[in-house]
A and B are shown apart, each in its own frame.
Chain A
Amino acid sequence: MDKTTLTPEESLLLITKTIEETKKRFEENGHIIILWGCLMFMVFFSQYVFSLTGLYKKFDIIWTVILFPLGMIYTFIYVRKNVKKKNLPTTIIGRIVGTMGWAMGLNLMILGFLFSRQLGDALAPIFLILLALSIIVIGASIKFKPLFIGGLLMNLIGLGSFFISRDYHGLSMMLGALVGLIIPGILLNKAHRKEHV
């Protein structure tokens, strides 16, 4: 592969192609985004159902305490395995997405488990706004518009939740999960598959 008589056009094309090829290996398939969207949707949907059936106090903690940490463990194993399998080096974007993901995830869990009483009615809106911020940053970093727009919509839902009764916050969370995570995740997965056919 060592041709020394490259024309300027060939050189520029080679640079572009190599950078594109390198970037392709880092592309996200949306798996983790869909997973967290579904987890969030399931937890709040079940809470909603349990509250209707009067079983809320019995099952709320079980769902939240089991499902979210399980999701975190799965995400950690999946990311590690993926990096090892694809032999991926670190990049600035990878570090931004990774740090944002775990730092925000950890803080949201702490807020939800330890400070829900102090935050009161503001818990769901703050949860949605903080999650939206990380989605916006990740969407902008990986240059994927649907994720960026999904984050903005989740942000608006979070702000809007301040104006509605706490009884409907579960619905806000479900809607946030749908527009901010599930739909952009599916679109990202589709784009990834199209690219790798």
Chain B
Amino acid sequence: MFNDLDPILHSQLRLSIVSILMTVDEANFTFIQETTKAAAGNISIQIKKLQEAEYVKVKKTFKNNYPNTTVSITKKGIEAFENYVTNLKKYINPK
């Protein structure tokens, strides 16, 4: 039914993650977890899928001796999100 909708984004958690990243420059893993209230393992899997599609960039660093993963959206990700929203609107208001 929703052929035009990007399957990468048409998933609840992945869509949430990308929506967060559209609002901020970059977000760390904890911020994403606190905002989506999803399990850490699930978030990791979805971020990996988004990374494979080149929609997000993942940066792994250390902050105060603790690992710190930051995620940011790529140009391709922004375009995909914008197309996704345009297509959504077409489904909701076909005219």
Contact (A2, B91) CB under 8 Å given A15-B19, A19-B22, A22-B20: no
A165 in the interface (beta carbon within 8 A): no
A118 in the interface (beta carbon within 8 A): no
Chain A 76-102, CB-CB to B under 8 Å as 1, else 0, gives 000000000001111110010000000
**Residues of A in contact, count (CB < 8 Å):** 24
From residue A133, how far is it (CB to closest CB) to chain B in Å?
Answer: 25
Contact (A2, B88) CB under 8 Å given A18-B35, A87-B34, A89-B26: no
Q: Which of A9, A11, A25 contacts B35 (CB 8 A)?
A: A25
B75 in the interface (beta carbon within 8 A): no
| Residues of chain B lying within 8 A (CB to CB) of residue A1 | 12-13, 16, 36-39, 42
Most buried by B among A12, A88, A95: A12
Chain B, 1-30, CB within 8 A of any chain A CB? 2, 5, 10-16, 19-20, 22-28, 30
A162-B92 Cα distance, complex, nearest whole Å: 56
| Residues of chain A lying within 8 A (CB to CB) of residue B24 | 22, 89-91
B53 in the interface (beta carbon within 8 A): no
The answer on a CB contact under 8 Å between A87 and B92 is no
Residue in chain B with minimal CB distance to A9:
B92
Chain A 13-39, CB-CB to B under 8 Å as 1, else 0, gives 011001101110100000000000000
From residue A77, how far is it (CB to closest CB) to chain B in Å?
Answer: 18
| Residues of chain A lying within 8 A (CB to CB) of residue B23 | 19, 22-23, 91
A53 in the interface (beta carbon within 8 A): no
Residue in chain B with minimal CB distance to A92:
B25
A3 in the interface (beta carbon within 8 A): yes
The answer on a CB contact under 8 Å between B27 and A89 is yes
Chain A to chain B contacts (Cβ below 8 Å), 10 pairs: A1-B16, A1-B36, A4-B11, A6-B10, A6-B11, A11-B88, A15-B19, A18-B35, A22-B23, A91-B25
- Contacts beyond the supplied A2-B12, A4-B11, A15-B15: 14 A-B pairs with Cβ under 8 Å: A1-B16, A2-B14, A6-B12, A14-B19, A15-B19, A18-B20, A18-B36, A19-B23, A21-B35, A89-B25, A89-B26, A89-B28, A91-B23, A91-B25
